[in-house]
C-alpha cells in the first residue's frame, strides 16, 4: 500500500511539472513516505532527514529552495512533533490527505510557511485521482493503479497488472498494530467507481486487476442500488469486463472470509487460486492477546472450505513471533499449524512494540534472542514449504501473464544464423532476453525469448509455459 501511495504522490507532483530524480542532491523537493509497520520507523525518518539536511543547506546557499515533505503513517502518528524535532521539514501530510500535496507545496513556497494536513478524507483522495486520470486521458492509468511505477503508462510502457484500491483503514484494533490509528476507520469505495477504474486500466492494456485494501475482504462499498456490496460481488462485477483476465485481492482477514467469497474462488475462473490470509500465530492464547477474534480452529476451517472450493489454492500468510507472553508451547502451536497447512510463500516478523498500541505496554516481553531463534526456525520451515511447492510445478504447463523483462537479461554471442559459436567469423552479439511473468499462484516465472520483437509480443499477454526447473523463489520455463 505504501508503494501505491508513493506512486500516487509521484504522479500528483509530475502533474504540476515536477520530474523524478534518483538522488536528493539538487532536488527541488524531497518526499519521505513513511511506514509505521516498519521497525523503528520514526528513528529511521529522523536519520533520513539528517542525511537530507546538507543537500537542503546547499540549495539554500545556491539561492534556491528544497521543499521537504514527510508523508505516511509516521507523519500521521507524530504530526507537529516532526516540525519540532527537525527544522528541515516543510510539509507534513497524512496517508489519507496526500492528494493535497501540490497545494501544500504551492503554499509552502508562496507563504514561506510550514504546512500540515492530517485530515481523513479518503473519498476526496480517490476523486482527485479519478479526475487526474480523466484529464490526462491515455496517460492516466497510473493515477488509478501503480503496481510498478517503472513501467507505468505515463512513461509510455504498457502495464499488464495494476492495483486498484477498493478499501482503506481498519476497525479491528489488533493489539500490535498501528494501522487503525494511522489509517483511520474502514472505508470502502463505491462499486461503480471501482468498475470504472478497472475499465480505464484495461483500456490501457492492463489485464490483471489487483484489489488493494488493509482489510480488503471487509469491503462493503455501495452498489448501484445503494445497498452494500461484498468483495465477492465486486469481483463478480469486474470479472464481467472481457479484457480483465485475472483478478487478485490483498490483504484479507480471516474474520471476513465470508461464504460468498469462498464460493467466488470456486465459481469465478478469473479469480486467481492464491490467497494471502494472515493468521499471525497458531496459538489461541496469543491470538486472544493480539485481539484477532479468531482461533486456529477457525483458520483451519476456512482453509478446508477454500481447498474444497479450489483444490489447487496457493496459500500465504503473515506470522509474528515473540508476541508478549508467547511461550515455547505457543510457538510450537504456530509451527504445528504451518506443518499442517503447508504454505506457498509467507512473511514472518519478530514482534516489535509500536508506541501507542496496547501490546507495547505488556509486562512480559519476549527476549530478543528467543525471538531470533523462533524466527529462524519458522523461516526455515516456510522456506522448505516454498521450495517444495515450487518443485511441484516442474513439468507442469501453466498460464503465465508476462509483465516485463527480467532483470538478468544479458548479451550473448551467436552466429548470424542464430546458432551459438564463440569466436566464429560470423559472430554477432545479440541480447538474450528473459521475460518475467506470474503464474496463477503468484510465482515468478522466467522464460528466454529470442529477440526484443518476440518479447514485445508477449508483454501483457498470457501464454502457456512449460516449467523446466524450479528455484526457491522462481520458476524457469519455456513458452509452449
Which residue number, 386 or 409, has a Cβ lying nearer to ligand SAM? 386
The reply to whether 182 sits near ligand SF4 by the rule CB under 6 A is no
**Partner touching 293 among ligand SAM, ligand SF4, none, CB below 5 to 8 Å by kind:** none
The reply to whether 182 sits near ligand SAM by the rule CB under 6 A is no
CB of 109 to ligand SF4, least distance (A): 36
The reply to whether 177 sits near ligand SAM by the rule CB under 6 A is yes
The reply to whether 173 sits near ligand SF4 by the rule CB under 6 A is yes
CB of 307 to ligand SAM, least distance (A): 20
By CB under 6 A, the residues from 243 to 262 that bind ligand SF4 are 253
φ and ψ at residue 93, rounded to 5 degrees: -140, 135
Sheet strands side by side (includes 161-165)? 161-165, 208-212, 246-250
By CB under 6 A, the residues from 260 to 279 that bind ligand SAM are 278
The reply to whether 430 sits near ligand SAM by the rule CB under 6 A is no
**Partner touching 180 among ligand SAM, ligand SF4, none, CB below 5 to 8 Å by kind:** ligand SF4
Which residue number, 214 or 409, has a Cβ lying nearer to ligand SAM? 214
By CB under 6 A, the residues from 8 to 67 that bind ligand SAM are 37
How crowded is the C-beta side of 172, counted as CA atoms within 13 Å?
Answer: 24
Q: Which among 75-83, 165-173, 234-242, 460-468 is the span making contact with ligand SF4, rule CB under 6 A?
A: 165-173
Out of 141, 188, 215, 386, the only residue in the binding site for ligand SAM (CB under 6 A) is: 215
The rounded distance, in Å, linking the Cα atoms of 146 and 157 is 13
Q: Which among 20-28, 173-181, 241-249, 434-442 is the span making contact with ligand SAM, rule CB under 6 A?
A: 173-181
By CB under 6 A, the residues from 191 to 220 that bind ligand SF4 are 214-215
Q: What is the 3-state secondary structure (H, E, C) of the chain?
A: CHHHHHHHHHHHHHHCCCCCCCCCCCCCEEEEEECCCCCCHHHHHHHHHHHHHHHHHHHHHCCCCCEEEEEEHHHHHHCCHHHHHCCCCCEEECCCCHHHHHHHHHHHHHHCCCEEECCCCHHHHHHHHHHHHHHHHHHHHHHHCCCCHHHCHHHCCCCCEEEEECEECCCCCCCCCCHHHHCCCCEECCHHHHHHHHHHHHHCCCCEEEEECCCHHHCCCECCCCCECCHHHHHHHHHCCCCCCEEEEECCCHHHCCHHHHHHHHHCCCECCEEECCCECCCHHHHHHCCCCCCHHHHHHHHHHHHHHCCCCEEECEEEECCCCCCHHHHHHHHHHHHHHCCCCCEEEECCCCCCCHHHHCCCCCCHHHHHHHHHHHHHHHHHHHHHHHHHCCCCEEEEEEEEECCCCEEEEEECCCCCCCCCCCEEEEEEEEEEEECCCCCEEEEEECCHHHHHHHCCCEEEEEEEEEECCEEEEEEC
The reply to whether 237 sits near ligand SAM by the rule CB under 6 A is no
Residue 294 CA from chain centroid, whole number: 24
CB of 83 to ligand SAM, least distance (A): 26
The reply to whether 170 sits near ligand SF4 by the rule CB under 6 A is yes
Residue 50 CA from chain centroid, whole number: 28
Q: Which among 40-48, 148-156, 171-179, 393-401 is the span making contact with ligand SF4, rule CB under 6 A?
A: 171-179
The reply to whether 379 sits near ligand SAM by the rule CB under 6 A is no
Which residue number, 280 or 390, has a Cβ lying nearer to ligand SAM? 280
CB of 354 to ligand SAM, least distance (A): 5
The reply to whether 172 sits near ligand SF4 by the rule CB under 6 A is yes
Which residue number, 133 or 257, has a Cβ lying nearer to ligand SAM? 257
The reply to whether 174 sits near ligand SF4 by the rule CB under 6 A is yes
Out of 280, 316, 409, 443, the only residue in the binding site for ligand SAM (CB under 6 A) is: 280
What would the x/- binding string for ligand SAM be over residues 327 to 356, using CB under 6 A? ----------------------x-xx-x--
Out of 24, 180, 460, 477, the only residue in the binding site for ligand SF4 (CB under 6 A) is: 180
Q: Which residue has the cell 501544500?
A: 104
Residues that bind ligand SAM (CB under 6 A): 37, 176-177, 179, 214-215, 251, 253, 278, 280, 318, 320, 349, 351-352, 354
Footprint of ligand SF4 (CB under 6 A): 170, 172-174, 177, 179-180, 214-215, 253
Amino acid at each position: 500500500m505504501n508503494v501505491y501511495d508513493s506512486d500516487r504522490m509521484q504522479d500528483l507532483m509530475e502533474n504540476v511539472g515536477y520530474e523524478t530524480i534518483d538522488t536528493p542532491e539538487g532536488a527541488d523537493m524531497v518526499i519521505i513516505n513513511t511506514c509505521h509497520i516498519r521497525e523503528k520507523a520514526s528513528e529511521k525518518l529522523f536519520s533520513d532527514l539528517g542525511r537530507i539536511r546538507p543537500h537542503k543547506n546547499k540549495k539554500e546557499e545556491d539561492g534556491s529552495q528544497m521543499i521537504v515533505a514527510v508523508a505516511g503513517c509516521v507523519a500521521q502518528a507524530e504530526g507537529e512533533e516532526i516540525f519540532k524535532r527537525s527544522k528541515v521539514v516543510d510539509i507534513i501530510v497524512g496517508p489519507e490527505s496526500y492528494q493535497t500535496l501540490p497545494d501544500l507545496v504551492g503554499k509552502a513556497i508562496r507563504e514561506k510557511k510550514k504546512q500540515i494536513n492530517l485530515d481523513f478524507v479518503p473519498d476526496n483522495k480517490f476523486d482527485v485521482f479519478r479526475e487526474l486520470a480523466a484529464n490526462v486521458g491515455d496517460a492516466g492509468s497510473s493515477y488509478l493503479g501503480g503496481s510498478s511505477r517503472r513501467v507505468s503508462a505515463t512513461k509510455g510502457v504498457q502495464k499488464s497488472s495494476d492495483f486498484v484500491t477498493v478499501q482503506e483503514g481498519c476497525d479491528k484494533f489488533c493489539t500490535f498494530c498501528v494501522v487503525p490509528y494511522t489509517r483511520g476507520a474502514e472505508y470502502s469505495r463505491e462499486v461503480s467507481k471501482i468498475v470504472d477504474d478497472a475499465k480505464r486500466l484495461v483500456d490501457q492494456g492492463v489485464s490483471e486487476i489487483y484489489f488493494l485494501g488493509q482489510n480488503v475482504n471487509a469491503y462493503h462499498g455501495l452498489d448501484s442500488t445503494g445497498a452494500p456490496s461484498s468483495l465477492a460481488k465486486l469481483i463478480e462485477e469486474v470479472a464481467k469486463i472481457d479484457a480483465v483476465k485475472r483478478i487478485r485481492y490483498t490483504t484479507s482477514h480471516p474474520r471476513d472470509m465470508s461464504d460468498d467469497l469462498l464460493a467466488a474462488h470456486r465459481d469465478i475462473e478469473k479469480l486467481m487460486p492464491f490467497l494471502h490470509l494472515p493468521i499471525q500465530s497458531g496459538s489461541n492464547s496469543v491470538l486472544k492477546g493480539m485481539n484477532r477474534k479468531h482461533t486456529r480452529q477457525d483458520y483451519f476451517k476456512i482453509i478446508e472450505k477454500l481447498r474444497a472450493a479450489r483444490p489447487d489454492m496457493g496459500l500465504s500468510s503473515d506470522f509474528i513471533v515473540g508476541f508478549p507472553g508467547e511461550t515455547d508451547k505457543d510457538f510450537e502451536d504456530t509451527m504445528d499449524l504451518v506443518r499442517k497447512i503447508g504454505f506457498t510463500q509467507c512473511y514472518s516478523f519478530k514482534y516489535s512494540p509500536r508506541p501507542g498500541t496496547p501490546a507495547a505496554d505488556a509486562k512480559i516481553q519476549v527476549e530478543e534472542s528467543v525471538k531470533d531463534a523462533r524466527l529462524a526456525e519458522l523461516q526455515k520451515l516456510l522456506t522448505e514449504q516454498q521450495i517444495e511447492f515450487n518443485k511441484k510445478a516442474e513439468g507442469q504447463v501453466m498460464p503465465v501473464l508476462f509483465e516485463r523483462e527480467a532483470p538478468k537479461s544479458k548479451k550473448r554471442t551467436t552466429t548470424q544464423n542464430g546458432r551459438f559459436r564463440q569466436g566464429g567469423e560470423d559472430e554477432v552479439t545479440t541480447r538474450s532476453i528473459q521475460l518475467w511473468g506470474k503464474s496463477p499462484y503468484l510465482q515468478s516465472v522466467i522464460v528466454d525469448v529470442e529477440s526484443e520483437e518476440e518479447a514485445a509480443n508477449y508483454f501483457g499477454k498470457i501464454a502457456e509455459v512449460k516449467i523446466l526447473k524450479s528455484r526457491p523463489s522462481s520458476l524457469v520455463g519455456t513458452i509452449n
